[in-house]
Structures are given as C-alpha cells and as structure tokens.
Structure 1
Amino acid sequence: MFYVSCCSYLAPEYFMYGKMNNKIDVYAYGVVLLELLSGRKPVNSESPKAQDSLVMWAKPILDDKEYSQLLDSSLQDDNNSDQMEKMALAATLCIRHNPQTRPTMGMVLELLKGDVEMLKWAKLQVSNPLEDSMLLKDEKLRRSNLQSHLNLAFLDMEDDSLSMGSMEQGISVEEYLKGRTSRSSSFN
C-alpha cells in the first residue's frame, strides 16, 4: 500500500512526462492539505478498485467552493471557518492540473498565514475558471485524463503484498513504471 499511497502525492505531469520540479512538491502539499481537511487518505483502499483518489473526490467540491463538504466530521464543530477557507483555497491552487498555474510554496505560506493581499489573490484565482479552460475545455475529459494517469500508476496494485514486494526488492518508482509501460504497445 506504500507505493499506491506514495503515488497519490505525485502530480499528473510526473506520470505524463516523468519530470520532477518544484511544482510537483506544491501539488503534493495540496494533497496533504486535503488530507488534513477531510481526514481521508490519499487513496481510498476500501473502494472496489482501491484507486479512488482524494484529489478526484475533492476537486468537484473545491470547484464549487463548497469547502464545508470537505471537512472531517470531527472538525465540523470547530469555529475555524477562516482557517479552513485558507487551507481549502491553498489546496485548490496547489492541485491545479497545470503546473504553471500552481502557486509557489512561499505564496502558499503567506496565504495560510492570512496575508490579506494573498487571500484576495487566491480568491481571484479560484474564481477565475481560465486555468481549467486553458488546459482542456472539456472538464470531463480533463478528469478522465487524470484518472487514466492514476490508473496507469496503480496498474496491478490490487493488494499490499505486491506493492511491498517492489519496495523490498529496492525497485525505484521510475524502474517500476518503466516496467509497467514497456508491457503496453501504446507506449512503444
């Protein structure tokens, strides 16, 4: 399960292009923020496929700005709606599909600290649907593409023993994914 959970923090562009950059860390931090808000794991291992992604679940809620629907039931009674909103705004910006439209970690820090100008900027960014329409006009296609990349990453990851076996053998993520993709003629 370690491998599957670890992959949940990787940005879509890592699966598409295999390139690392600091915007991948920003994406991972967005997933961590979603975990803190929702109390959910990055991958729902209780689903039939064990592939239900926290990001895929949260994205429609964030897009609709229904932040209270994200909250873990143990947080529902707390009167920290301002902090919850800042975390949700930060998560929304961090998990953007297009890495160029994600904030820097410094910007995320300022937002979480409550910087008034950064909060205004974040609200403007979240209310501007340009980011999604720039990448792909059809929202369903965009989510479908993200899900297909997650499915590729989780290929044959149906039980914990397989994922632990890869880790025990010392196989890196890159080597494992190379082995997975080389079996498919669509990647040759």
Structure 2
Amino acid sequence: MGTISPPKSVLLLVAISSRYAEALDWACERITSEFGLAGAVSPAFEFTETDYYTETMGTDLKKQLLVLATPIDPGGLPGVKRLTNVWEAEYAAATSHPESRPLNLDPGYLTLAKLVLASTKDHAHRIYLSDGIYAEVTLSYRAKAWHAFDWTYPDFRRTDFQAFFTECRKLLRPTAAN
C-alpha cells in the first residue's frame, strides 16, 4: 500500500486571450493582484489556430501566457477557474466592447512533468475535480521535450508556447534547463 502524502506545489498558469491589449493588461493586473508576482509573462502571441472563438470574441485574437512566481497547491485549481470565470464576466460588463466575451481566461498549472488545464466541460480525457471543474493533462514533459496528446489544443502544440513552458520549468527547479 502506498503512503498518502500532500501533493507537491505547482506553478499557476493562466492563458489570457483577447483581441484587446487593454484586456490582456487588465487580466495580468487582476491575476497578479490576487495571486502575487508573475514569474514569467509571454509575449502576446497571435492566436490563429482556431476560429472557435470568432462568434463570441471576434477576430485578430492574441494569447498571452502568465505563470505566477509562487507555487500553489494544485488542489486549489477549481477555485481559480471559478474566479477567472467571474473576472471574464466582470470585464465584459465593465467595458463597451461589442463582443459578448472580450476576454477569455484559462487557468491551469505547470509541473516539471506536465501542464494541466482546467475546464468547465467534461470529456472522456478529463477528470472531475470539484465545484463543476474538470482538469486535463494537456502536455507531458519527458526526454527533454514537451509531448502533446490527441486532445491537446493546437496552440499548445506550438514550439514558441513550449519554449516558454520550458523556461517556466526553471522556476520550479532552477537546474531544470530542459
């Protein structure tokens, strides 16, 4: 029988999507105000891999990745996802953007071995956590490289995203170069 022990801390990750630079800035400010200093912030990447969000978010979307500096308990992910959903609605109500969803926040976490994303949607590859929130392992890290799964979103397969995640691994263990 295995010994039950507390989980290792993880790095909170939030993927921020919008067509508005001010929305990306607002989200970064809100996230760091709640969770502390950013450990790493990516450039605002062009988000062109899907048109899934066009109807609710418009075109010319950007996606920025924010990883917090202070590790958290992974068991807190459902609360983070519920909070980011509140923030999305708050931003939409406080601005005059024509889109119904001018901001999308997708939290998850990063470990040395994997990248996990939270979701409100169930699917065969997702595990229920609590409070209506599911999680999926989106990428795994082995043999000094990120590996996608059949369900991995196309943007998370990108080499520039994965290079950013590799750099973020150093925040967990400074000697984790690759």
Decide: shared fold, TM above 0.5. Answer: no
Which structure shows the higher helix fraction?
1
Q: Which has the larger radius of gyration?
A: 1
- For the aligned pair, the TM-score class normalised by the smaller chain equals under 0.3
Structure (1 or 2) with the greater strand fraction? 2
Higher RCO, Cα 8 Å, sep 6+: 1
